[in-house]
Amino acid sequence: MTTRIATWNMAYWQYKKYFEEAWDYYLKEIDADIIFFQEARPSKVIENDKEHLVWNEIGSNRTWGSGVYSKKYKLTEETIKTEFKGAFSIANTNVEDRKLTFISLYGLMESNGPTKGYSITNLHRMLSDLTCIFNGHLGGKRNIVLGGDLNASVQLDPIQKNDSHKIFFDRLEDFNLNDCFKLSNKEFPVQTLRHYRSKVKWQNDYFYVSKSISKKLINCEVVDNDKVRKYSDHNPVVITLDL
């Protein structure tokens, strides 16, 4: 059975006037079985569907966060010790008797201090917090799907004059999580972010799946059309798994 999973940074704080319209598009036209979202809040249509929705607000002045929704499968939230609730949310479900763990993750940028504007510092901390899940210390070995706007790209390493982004992706691979763009033989970079001040084809959004299900991947694609460009500066990414 094929399962479609999508992720999208909906840029709620920038595109608030299109909020419900964007959700209508996401739910009806992307037509995924499971959807991840970042920089967003649930729409009015799904916000009270507690059995099928897991999400958390980042808090403070950020009234948005990350989450997972499925119209088809019941989701159970999993919480771990972390300072980054809302930057990532964890949901579990079963698809065809196969337990899956979904992690919708947003590369939260530092808001103050000497590394203000950096996401990579927080990303490394998040991976450390998630080690208990990745290494099977909590709940045993898992089939994991991690996706989202990571605010990470090796394109940034020359700018920041280090290899911290490469090391971040190396850490993901070391946890036996595989890049779905690479598995689909997509040429880097695959543009997922359109920055109004830059002509660079930024790749910020990703899906990673556990090695245990990597051979189940059929495709990984970026959705780009006029509606997407109207609703957000990010593009949805969709993977199809044969589960």
Residue 196 pLDDT level (bands cut at 50, 70, 90)? confident
Predicted confidence band of residue 13 (pLDDT cuts 50, 70, 90): confident
**Superfamily of structural domain 2-242:** Endonuclease/exonuclease/phosphatase (3.60.10.10)
Domain extents for the chain?
2-242
Residue keyed to tokens 């009015």? 44
- Residue-wise pLDDT tens digits, 58-105: 988 899 999 999 999 999 999 999 999 999 999 999 998 899 999 999
Q: What is the pTM of this model?
A: 0.97
Distance, CA of 179 to CA of 169 (rounded, Å): 9
pLDDT classification of 4: cutoffs 50, 70, 90: very high
Cα 123 to Cα 213: distance, rounded to the nearest angstrom: 24
Instruction: Give Cα 7 distance to the centre of its chain.
Output: 6
Are the C-beta atoms of residues 172 and 208 closer than 8 Å to each other? yes
**Res. 23: pLDDT tops 90:** yes
